[in-house]
Structure 1
Amino acid sequence: MSTDTLAAAAVRGRWAIAAIFFVNGFVTGSWAPQIPVFLHRLEITETTLGLLILLFGAGAVSAMVWAGHLIPRYGSRAVTSLFAISCCFGLLLVALAPNVWTAAIAMYVFGGTIGATDVSMNANAVTVEKKLGRAIMSSSHGFWSLGGFVGGGLGGIAIQAWGHLAHAAIVSVVATVIVAAAIGKIVTDLPVADEHRKFVLPRTPGVYIIGLMALLCMNSEGAVLDWGALYLRQELGTDIATAGFAFGAFAGAMALMRFLGDGVRNRFGAVAAFRTSALVAAAGMLVAGLAPWPWLVIAAFAVSGLGIANMVPILFSAAGNQAGTSPGAGMSVVTTMGYSGILLAPSVIGFVGERTGFAPIFVAISGLMLAVMLASGMTGTADQPARGAAPLQPS
């Protein structure tokens, strides 16, 4: 196969995996407007809903480990294709559940399809980076954020117009069409050494350090998602409409910066980009915790979103390029540890915030971002595909 053909295939693969990121975010975001209907339809309390959402997280984390086992054996292309198709129907499965017990099973399966797709698509993005010889991870996560924005933004309108079941069916159809168009163009993995084909927990300490860094970064995302609006409402006395801008400003800034992040990383390198991002995130969280005015807090959350946006994508690239560890194994460990932060953080932050208020929480998160910055040298391996591999250029 000629260099021109290989290069063209890599470019097509880059946009194919971007489409999978979009679908994963779109289906996940479409779940958010379903939650009030879900609560009313099953006649459950908020406590029961919390337990069902916990099952979603448990399904995601367990499936991430399973995906890490499958990727070295079958390649991220095959695993991504399988789970991307299955995740198209997860929301519909939940929408069809007639009672709390079937909903519990549906939520676990739904979380599993989302989590397994997440690990495999990130592993494939690492492969694309190696084939292209440049970073694409941040913009790939940008497509995830864009999908979440579209799914969450349009979902409520669709549910109001046609009902929750029709909405879930539409989501499944749209997602399936996009996945069907993309999977044939997903790139094939680079050869994996025989000794790495069998999934084992990595013995390289760096993988777990990167995983801890991802946990702290994603914990920060979860803090704004779950508690930002409540902080504005209860402690700064703003109205509900204004409080809703807490995560909106954060997510919007994050999506924008993720589309710009690959260019920044390609120009300045992963370590410098990560270090600067951590400083920006820390500054935003500190101001959010100390500011006396709601709109200043909202602006601070947006600044923090600009910083946090590219930290996790850089960490994922670094995890997929650890020496002596297959991309699937490294990605599985770091993704699982990172998402554990989102899974466990809400209850811990709620318990502490109930007693201290949320302002000290955001100040403390600022300190955690500075601690993560001190370990920024661990992200140097993220540059290996961009600077250590020969990109495919048309001859």
Structure 2
Amino acid sequence: MRARTGISLFFFTNGLMMAGLLPRYPEIKASFDLSNTAFGLMVAISPLAAMLASALPAPLIRRFGAQAVSLGGTIVMALAVSLAGFAPVFAVFAIAIAIAGFTDSIVDAAQNVHGVIVEDAYRRTIINSLHALWSLGATLGGLVGAIAAGMHIPLGLHLSGVAAFTVVLAALATWLGRLPVNAAAETPVDAPTPPTKLPAGAWSVILPLAVLAIAGSLVEDIAFNWSAVYLVQNLGATAGVAGFGYTIMLGSQFVGRLLGDPATDRWGRVAVIKTGGVLIAVGGILVVTAPGLISVMVGYALAGFGCATVIPAAYAAAGRLPGLPEGTGITLVSWLLRIGFLACSPIIGAVSDLTNLRVSLCLLIVAGIAVFALAPVVRGRRQATTTA
């Protein structure tokens, strides 16, 4: 139970870390005088840097252990986010978010490897609850960011304060999450290893899981990078109000992830993911067609709730692929997922400059359809006998 508390708290800190930056994107965009295309490229810096780090989690985790890697990475992220808050010019800001994204990729892989092993030891589904704590942290971080924007608190002061608090929580999470010395998560051979040769047919399973995760992450990407900008540009919301769009999406995701574990145990992952795909598509339709603020917020909520279990399910399935060392499937899916993050925002920015942001957010509808269609790929051996 203590290990579950520790890894849950670590997911919370990872969600909290950078979330405060996101509701303040409209003012950052304005302060650096960025077009939608330039802004889309700016927010792609972090996932690009994350891709460059894709080979590092394996040796680091083997050498130092998953929790030590997560804590060290969190400290580096805190310093980078604080630097972004005080950046005097765009070049400094870009370097800071690149460092943060690079390190986040390492922390993400480490905490998910540890989370899957704790779930196996716990002998019941907890992966959605772990990701729910990430959503809760991101929701709280976004709420604080929205309030800070509304109160015109300087960006550097706001971000450095959140970063310091997060490091303290991460240290506590590391202490709580310690496993017995003979536990699998602390054994170096169980850390993710860069595969030199995958079993036959492995890519035919990994690639659909990655595409499913990318479709689910597109909702998160829009929440992170475009929800506030959309409310400001298309609906004339103030910076303080616009920040709540992100909070609503991630808050709904948090609720969906809390409900995801019992729903998965009762109806199976496939049925839950299919339902989520429908909700994402309906939410997307509301976002791009509804004329008023409340309707758009309802659309954000539906999309956030619908995507709740998509990435956890993809990671859980990837972490249990037969014939692969523990964590290798997660590492590969996580790396491919970063490619999706890298492409998404530049595409949205370029399409919105050619047309408008409302048109580009139709990608939410496409994502919902893709999630529904790809849901069967998360069916594990246990689901294969219980889920149609």
In the superposition, the TM-score normalised over structure 2's length comes to 0.81
Cα distance in structure 2, aligned partners of 1:311 and 1:305: 11
Cα distance in structure 1, aligned partners of 2:225 and 2:26: 16
Q: 1:178 aligns with which of 150, 162, 169?
A: 169
1:1-395 correspondence to structure 2 within 5 Å: 11-32=1-22, 44-46=32-34, 52-71=42-61, 75-95=65-85, 97=87, 100-155=90-145, 163-186=154-177, 187=179, 188-190=183-185, 198-200=193-195, 202-203=198-199, 204-205=202-203, 206-228=205-227, 239-240=237-238, 246-363=245-362, 365-381=364-380
Q: Which moved more, 1:99-108 or 1:179-188?
A: 99-108
How far the C-alpha of 1:77 sits from its partner, in A, is 3.3
State the percentage of identical aligned residues.
26
SS in 2 for 1:327: coil
1:346-384 C-alpha deviation (Å, 9 max, x unpaired):
221232234444555455542442233222221123968
Q: Which runs of no fewer than 5 residues in structure 1 stay unpaired?
A: 1-10, 388-395
How far the C-alpha of 1:156 sits from its partner, in A, is 5.9
Cα distance in structure 2, aligned partners of 1:245 and 1:177: 26
Cα distance in structure 1, aligned partners of 2:236 and 2:352: 18
1:329-355 C-alpha deviation (Å, 9 max, x unpaired):
211221222233233212212322344
SS in 2 for 1:111: helix
* Partner amino acid, structure 2, of 1:317: A
How far the C-alpha of 1:195 sits from its partner, in A, is 10
Cα distance in structure 1, aligned partners of 2:188 and 2:145: 44
Larger radius of gyration: 1
Residues 17 and 166 in structure 2, CA contact (< 8 A), matched pair in contact too: yes
How far the C-alpha of 1:147 sits from its partner, in A, is 1.3
SS in 1 for 2:332: helix
* Partner amino acid, structure 1, of 2:18: T
Residue 96 and residue 365 in structure 1: after superposition, are their counterparts in 2 closer, same or farther (change >3 A)?
closer
How far the C-alpha of 1:162 sits from its partner, in A, is 7.0
How far the C-alpha of 1:265 sits from its partner, in A, is 1.3
Cα distance in structure 1, aligned partners of 2:13 and 2:305: 23
Residue 54 and residue 324 in structure 1: after superposition, are their counterparts in 2 closer, same or farther (change >3 A)?
same
How far the C-alpha of 1:131 sits from its partner, in A, is 0.5
Q: Which runs of no fewer than 5 residues in structure 2 stay unpaired?
A: none
Residues 315 and 382 in structure 1, CA contact (< 8 A), matched pair in contact too: no
Cα distance in structure 2, aligned partners of 1:311 and 1:74: 30
Cα distance in structure 2, aligned partners of 1:249 and 1:285: 14
How far the C-alpha of 1:92 sits from its partner, in A, is 2.4
Q: How many residues align?
A: 372
SS in 2 for 1:77: helix
Residues 138 and 258 in structure 1, CA contact (< 8 A), matched pair in contact too: yes
Cα distance in structure 2, aligned partners of 1:73 and 1:383: 33
SS in 2 for 1:285: helix
How far the C-alpha of 1:21 sits from its partner, in A, is 1.0
SS in 1 for 2:136: helix
* Partner amino acid, structure 2, of 1:120: A
1:90-144 C-alpha deviation (Å, 9 max, x unpaired):
3224345565554443332222222211111111111111110112121212211
